A and B are shown apart, each in its own frame.
Chain A
């Protein structure tokens, strides 16, 4: 992780959540820091004790378990099944990854996860763009009622809907199918809500001018609303990708054939197999595979992810 993407992206930011949170004020150092040069030694000490030390501690608490996971995934069984703790793998190898792929169809899990995430996130993002545009720009009698119903759906947790949805999808023959995994999660209240809020901040006059020039809704959507809303759409897309990739409860109950399982469900299977019961090296290799893709996405695009996941925190 490096400092540059973080800070440059943060400064370029113009998504509603992010800008409203940042006070419009340059990030200057208070002049008093330079003025009181007499206390410099004392200041340095408090700076380290009060500034860097807690930060370092927080970062260690967060990153050590993940570092431990990566290191362990390259260790041999004899280094794992031991009571003497060794930090670095003596002879790093991919053997745990190979063993994971041997005992369960790991490549298939990965492919399933990618497919479910890509298809699910693409459709969800599209649906939220279309619905949000319709809610803001197209005239319809009960628009506000519909919006409120979507808003309420935002509050209904998917977990309490699991059993009825299982009964429905199973009766339609959707067990162990891709559509059975993907379809029930496609309705999107979160993305619709976020984009609707964003679209309603766009200047209406611009769209009216385009209408007079003969541009239909379809053109106004794709040539105007979407291009000027890329940060918000990226936020919706990324949060959706993260949720689809990590989703566990629904794929867990709707699949029982290994060939149809996603990565998190497949990892559960790995804990049940004989080789996995005490073989932490193999399980850590599996954890790396499920954690790393999202960690990479997050590292490069964290501004959008954070903005999307903390949206609503600074409304006032």
Chain B
């Protein structure tokens, strides 16, 4: 601190400093310890587990070095899991951002009831993924589902969503986009409302129509919102679990990294070491996305 105390008061000040430090620990230590034990320790533990041939629940484990990683990348698991993860992530991120942008344009039109619509569109984002997944599973049911009934009405047969791995993946992507588009819409809407009005008015005076103004002014000025959404939805898609698990319990077709890690450790195989290796791979991807995000936040802070 800037104010240096007079020499005579030094004893008083160090005692005070010590008391402050103890108080700091009393306030912050519980939270810091919990974060250390349940957030930081697992990162190191995963690295350790990933070198073990270890059945979950067993007392003993054999150290196998990098064999779990080697198995993941050479057994044919990796191409399938990584492809599923990539398709799921890109489709959900792209889909919810694009639809979110369209909804944000509609919400930005300042018609009556827009605040209610904004709340309604955002709502699915906060709802239980398990509940939402079950509702959509019913809708997608090939015999009794609402979608099947609609398809029948126009003379089409409902596809077998669950039994076909590709369609199962498409199904969870649709549900996930439905759940997330409101979040994207609200973030985009905030970005749109920050676009200076006089800029739009000046462009209108210069003869730019609504479409031209959107493409040349709004969209470029939304790039911080787009980047923010890209990173946050990317991170959340890589961690998506509840909808996948409740809609496709077998994991067939929807085995992303996180789901595969879960299935390997907690489903039939109990292969904890192998699961930890997949978790480490997932963590590396998340880390890369996070590093990009931190750099982005830094840049924003400098500009602010």
What residues of chain A have their CB less than 8 Å away from a CB belonging to chain B?
A: 1-3, 6-7, 10, 21-23, 25, 29, 47, 50-52, 54-55, 58-59, 61-63, 65-66, 68-69, 72, 80-85, 127-128, 130-131, 133-135, 138-141, 143, 146, 149-150, 153, 155-168, 170, 183-189, 192, 217, 242, 245-246, 248-249, 252-253, 263-264, 267-268, 271, 278, 280, 283-284, 286-288, 290-291, 294-295, 298-299, 302, 305-306, 309-310, 312-316
Contact = CB atoms under 8 A, between A and B. Distances in A.
B124 interface: yes
B178 A62 contact: yes
Contacts of A135: 28
13 contacts: A23-B194, A58-B103, A65-B178, A127-B30, A156-B40, A189-B39, A249-B245, A264-B128, A268-B245, A268-B246, A287-B134, A295-B127, A309-B125
A252 to B, nearest CB: 8
Given A50-B109, A139-B24, A140-B20, A287 B135 contact: yes
A316 B28 contact: no
A160 B43 CA distance: 8
B50 to A, nearest CB: 10
B146 A68 contact: yes
B150 to A, nearest CB: 8
Contacts of B56: 166-167
B9 interface: no
B117 to A, nearest CB: 5
A127 B33 CA distance: 11
A252 B190 CA distance: 36
Contacts of A25: 197
Interface residues of B, number: 114
Contacts of A66: 123-124, 135
B279 A163 contact: yes
Chief secondary structure at chain A's binding surface: helix
Given A163-B42, A189-B35, A130 B152 contact: no
B183 interface: yes
Contact of B144 (A80, A264, A305): A80
Interface in B248-288: 249, 258, 261-262, 265-266, 272, 275-276, 279-280, 282-283, 286
B127 A131 contact: no
Contacts of B49: 163-164, 167
Interface stretch (B64-72, B161-169, B296-304): B296-304
B114 A55 contact: yes
A296 to B, nearest CB: 11
Contacts of B107: 55, 58
Interface in B109-130: 109-111, 113-130
Given A130-B31, A192-B31, A249-B242, 19 more contacts: A1-B120, A6-B119, A51-B109, A54-B105, A155-B294, A156-B39, A159-B261, A160-B42, A160-B279, A164-B46, A170-B57, A187-B34, A246-B130, A249-B245, A264-B242, A267-B134, A271-B249, A280-B144, A314-B190
A153 B39 contact: yes
Contacts of B115: 3, 6-7, 10
Nearest to A113: B128
Nearest to B114: A55
Interface string B17-54: 10011011101101111111111111101100100000
Given A159-B239, A253-B266, A185 B146 contact: no
A161 B32 contact: no
Contacts of A249: 241-242, 245, 262
B1 interface: yes
Interface centre among A7, A23, A65, A283 (most CB of B within 10 A): A65
A58 B117 CA distance: 8
